């Protein structure tokens, strides 16, 4: 493994500059993800590291060696493409061995490496198949095996999961984490899928219009976005933005919206006093919105059924009503399917047998946080 350093890297196609003065350091054994909307230069950056695209200006170091003029085959880099790029006329074993044959490794070493990669990526029994006989996930693992057997110093992954269905993507994410933990390789991963980026990465490098906007751990980027683009792009559902103004009233600072005002905590007033009487954009994530009128200490959730409830709405789900009998829920939340918020206590009660709520898993309730209880247990809030 080796560290990768990009110093003021730029790339132009004619008069179009697609990567602009990019500075990034990836440490040895680190998993870093370049994330941004499609068409902002992240795949081009990866191709420049691999040597497939020439660098217009700037310096690229792999380890301590300036790599700008080093041919791709001598950089110690392997790349997994979005389209897999398997040779259709070769079997799984032949595809895996291709890079080793180019490097003129011995037959014994090649067979040993193929066996190692097949066991690592659960490809047993597929060695003699052709790519057309494989599923999408199997093709992806073959492409990854071909990249790993040459023991690269740096592994480059260009949206390798984008062609897979949702269930297989989830499985392959876990597979990639397992492989990285086992091998300790330096990995630069490219995706526009923020969920993928947040779950896989040790650090995120957020790009926009060819520029590096913010670098940090997933939680750091999520909790402390540098600008409105990062705040709106990272997170699902995305952050809500409101045009507002900082005002002073009765000696206190408030954020004034159209129709209501929000008091700024006194401990934070000094931080925002410089914005007094200025137009601002107020951002809040959906999970930080809740109903103040909800009396948590009066709520009692009781599970008596073998089935349970699951719901991921950021609003409070509801209150189990003891007056209405076991298994009844007072709807006290926004109904995503109907697009309506139901807060009327006289509204019809929903039961555990409602198809909207019924699952076989444990209960998941969001009431200013996450709580999980199993069937037959109680949770007092």
DSSP 282-341: EEE-GGG---TT--GGG-EEE--SSSEEB---SS--EEE-STT-TTEEEE-SEETTTTEE
Cα angle 130-132-135, degrees, rounded to a multiple of 5: 100
The residues spanned by each domain of the chain are 4-232, 240-286, 296-380
* Percent of the chain whose pLDDT exceeds 70: 76
Across the chain, mean pLDDT equals 76
Mean predicted confidence (pLDDT) in 196-215: 90
Distances, alpha carbon 201 to alpha carbons 23, 70, 176, in Å: 18, 28, 11
What span, in angstroms and rounded, lies between the C-alpha atoms of 326 and 303?
Answer: 8
Residue 229 has pLDDT above 70, yes or no: yes
**pTM score of the predicted model:** 0.70
CATH number of 4-232: 3.40.50.300
What span, in angstroms and rounded, lies between the C-alpha atoms of 335 and 315?
Answer: 9
pLDDT at 277: 86
Mean predicted confidence (pLDDT) in 129-135: 92
Within the chain, what is the greatest distance between any pair of CA atoms?
83
Sheet holding 328-331, edge to edge: 318-320, 328-331, 350-351
Who's near 347: CB < 8 A, 6+ residues apart? 330, 331
**pLDDT tier at 278 (50, 70, 90 boundaries)?**
confident
Who's near 28: CB < 8 A, 6+ residues apart? 1, 2, 3, 186
What span, in angstroms and rounded, lies between the C-alpha atoms of 147 and 93?
Answer: 13
Question: 145 with 81: CB under 8 angstroms?
Answer: no
What span, in angstroms and rounded, lies between the C-alpha atoms of 214 and 220?
Answer: 10
Quick one: DSSP state of residue 193? -
What span, in angstroms and rounded, lies between the C-alpha atoms of 64 and 163?
Answer: 35
pLDDT at 381: 32
Question: 175 with 137: CB under 8 angstroms?
Answer: no
**pLDDT tier at 378 (50, 70, 90 boundaries)?**
very low
Mean predicted confidence (pLDDT) in 249-274: 86
What span, in angstroms and rounded, lies between the C-alpha atoms of 235 and 239?
Answer: 7
Instruction: Give the residue among 167, 186, 161 at the shortest CA–CA distance from 77.
Output: 186
Residue 341 has pLDDT above 60, yes or no: no
- pLDDT, one tens digit per residue, over 60-100 is 999 889 999 999 988 889 898 878 889 999 999 999 999 89
pLDDT at 342: 38
pLDDT at 128: 93
What span, in angstroms and rounded, lies between the C-alpha atoms of 300 and 267?
Answer: 34
- With 0-12 / 13-18 / 19 or more C-beta atoms within 10 angstroms meaning exposed / middle / buried, residue 249 is exposed
Cα angle 250-279-242, degrees, rounded to a multiple of 5: 95
Quick one: DSSP state of residue 17? E
Residue 310 has pLDDT above 60, yes or no: no
Mean predicted confidence (pLDDT) in 318-327: 36
């Amino acid at each position: 493994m080796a560290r990768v350093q990009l110093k003021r890297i730029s790339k132009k196609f004619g008069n179009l500059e697609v990567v602009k003065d990019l500075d990034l350091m990836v440490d040895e054994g680190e998993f870093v993800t370049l994330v941004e909307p499609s068409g902002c230069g992240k795949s081009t950056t990866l191709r420049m590291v691999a040597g497939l695209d020439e660098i217009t200006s700037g310096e690229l170091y792999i380890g301590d060696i300036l790599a700008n003029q080093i041919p791709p085959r001598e950089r110690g880099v392997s790349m997994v493409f979005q389209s897999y790029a398997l040779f259709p006329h070769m079997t799984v074993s032949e595809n895996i061995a291709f890079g080793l044959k180019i490097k003129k490794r011995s037959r014994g070493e090649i067979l040993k490496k193929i066996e190692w990669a097949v066991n690592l990526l659960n490809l047993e029994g597929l060695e003699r198949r052709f790519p057309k006989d494989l599923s999408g996930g199997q093709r992806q693992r073959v492409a990854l095996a071909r990249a790993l057997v040459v023991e690269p110093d740096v592994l480059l992954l260009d949206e390798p999961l984008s062609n897979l269905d949702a269930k297989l993507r989830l499985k392959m994410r876990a597979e990639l984490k397992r492989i990285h933990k086992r091998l300790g390789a330096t990995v630069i991963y490219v995706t526009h899928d923020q969920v993928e980026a947040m779950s896989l990465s040790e650090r995120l490098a957020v790009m926009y219009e060819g520029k590096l906007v913010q670098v940090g751990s997933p939680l750091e980027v999520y909790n402390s976005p540098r600008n409105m683009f990062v705040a709106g792009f990272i997170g699902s559902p995305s952050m809500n933005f409101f045009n507002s103004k900082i005002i002073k009233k009765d000696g206190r600072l408030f954020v004034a919206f159209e129709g209501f005002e929000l008091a700024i905590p006194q401990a934070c007033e000094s931080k925002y006093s410089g914005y007094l009487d200025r137009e601002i954009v107020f951002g809040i994530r959906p999970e930080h919105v809740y109903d103040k009128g909800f009396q948590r200490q009066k709520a009692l959730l009781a599970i008596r059924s073998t089935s349970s409830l699951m719901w991921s709405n950021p609003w409070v789900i509801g209150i189990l009503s003891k007056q209405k009998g076991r298994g009844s829920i007072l709807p006290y939340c926004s109904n995503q399917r109907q697009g309506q918020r139901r807060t009327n206590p006289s509204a019809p009660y929903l039961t555990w047998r409602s198809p909207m709520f019924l699952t076989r898993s444990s209960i998941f309730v969001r009431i200013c946080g996450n709580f999980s209880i199993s069937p037959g247990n109680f949770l007092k809030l």
